Amino acid sequence: MICLLHGALPYGWVDPGVTPPADLPGSGCITDRGSCGCCLMLREVNRMSTYFNATLNALEKDYAQAKRSVEKIEASRGAFSVALTDQPYFFCFGPFTSEKLVTYQHVFINLGGGYDPGTGVFTAAQSGVYSLALTVFGDAGAPGVPLAACADLLVNGRAVAGARERNAQDQEDSASTVLALHLNAGDKVAVSLPVGCSLCGDVGHFNTFSAFLLYPTE
């Protein structure tokens, strides 16, 4: 189109007084000095096209990288918070003659689906530093009866922390523990009820177990 316009118009693309270049191989400038303006315009269009294509490729690369980062952040979301029961009546879990995992039935949040209410086990979806919190509450049943509200926090079956309240002075009492741990993808976190301990509660949600990802490490 540019060259057709040049052929139809009575003047060229080169400004008056400007010597058209003669070093454009195959451009026709050597044999047809009047077409040099058209050649220069085409060369400029090609240069700009190359520049914009390179810029577009760079933007597409940056967009793809940003998209992957967002997807990684979304995939790394992991948080749950659960309570022992949602029943309106007061009951106690334990004591037992053998150690048992606690299956928390009321789920406040389970972002990422890492917590399994059927087993009471949380599975870390991604390696990172996690905040873990455990609160236990117990009821001795009557004044003067020894109280044993206690539980252990397990990682891959090994106790890493615990909450204890054993005494003969209180009929009801509670204990809590909060810690930060590095977990690898696939690590399993659960709460174990030791022998002779019990957890008591109702819809008031006195016994809770929570964890969330502070930041990923890979």
Q: What is the mean pLDDT of residues 56-81?
A: 78
CA atoms within 13 Å, Cβ hemisphere of 186: 0
pLDDT for 65: 80
Q: What is the mean pLDDT of residues 38-62?
A: 85
pLDDT for 178: 96
Beta bridge partners of 123: 188
pLDDT for 5: 47
* Among the four given CATH numbers 2.60.120.10, 2.60.120.40, 3.40.50.300, 3.90.1150.10, the one describing domain 76-216: 2.60.120.40
Beta bridge partners of 74: none
pLDDT for 77: 73
Share of the chain above pLDDT 70, in %: 79
Question: pLDDT of 1-30, one tens digit each?
Answer: 545 444 444 444 444 554 555 544 544 555
pLDDT for 63: 87
Q: Give the start-to-end residue ranges of the domains of the chain.
A: 2-74, 76-216
DSSP 6-42: HHHSSS-SSPTTPPPPS--TTSSTTT-GGGHHHHHHH
Give residues with Cβ within 8 angstroms of 28, minimum separation 6.
Answer: 35, 36, 39
C-alpha 85/C-alpha 38 separation (Å) is: 82
Please give the mean pLDDT across all residues of the chain: 83
pLDDT band for position 60 (cuts 50, 70, 90): confident
pLDDT for 103: 96
φ and ψ of 29, to 5 deg: -65, -30
pLDDT for 74: 62
Q: Which residue has the tokens 């990682």?
A: 155
Give residues with Cβ within 8 angstroms of 163, minimum separation 6.
Answer: 134, 135, 136, 149, 150, 151, 153, 175, 176, 177
**What is residue 66's DSSP assignment?**
H
pLDDT band for position 37 (cuts 50, 70, 90): low
Ramachandran category for residue 112: left, alpha or beta (phi over 0 → left; psi -120 to 50 → alpha): left
Question: pLDDT of 174-195, one tens digit each?
Answer: 999 999 999 999 999 999 999 9
pLDDT for 13: 45
Strands (E), the chain: 79-83, 91-93, 100-101, 106-111, 115-116, 121-123, 128-139, 147-155, 158-167, 172-183, 188-193, 199-201, 208-216
pLDDT for 72: 64
Ramachandran category for residue 7: left, alpha or beta (phi over 0 → left; psi -120 to 50 → alpha): alpha
pLDDT for 127: 94
Question: pLDDT of 103-152, one tens digit each?
Answer: 999 999 999 999 999 999 999 999 999 999 999 999 888 887 888 899 99
Query: Is residue 136 within 8 Å of residue 165, measured between CB atoms?
Result: yes
pLDDT for 12: 46
C-alpha 186/C-alpha 212 separation (Å) is: 15
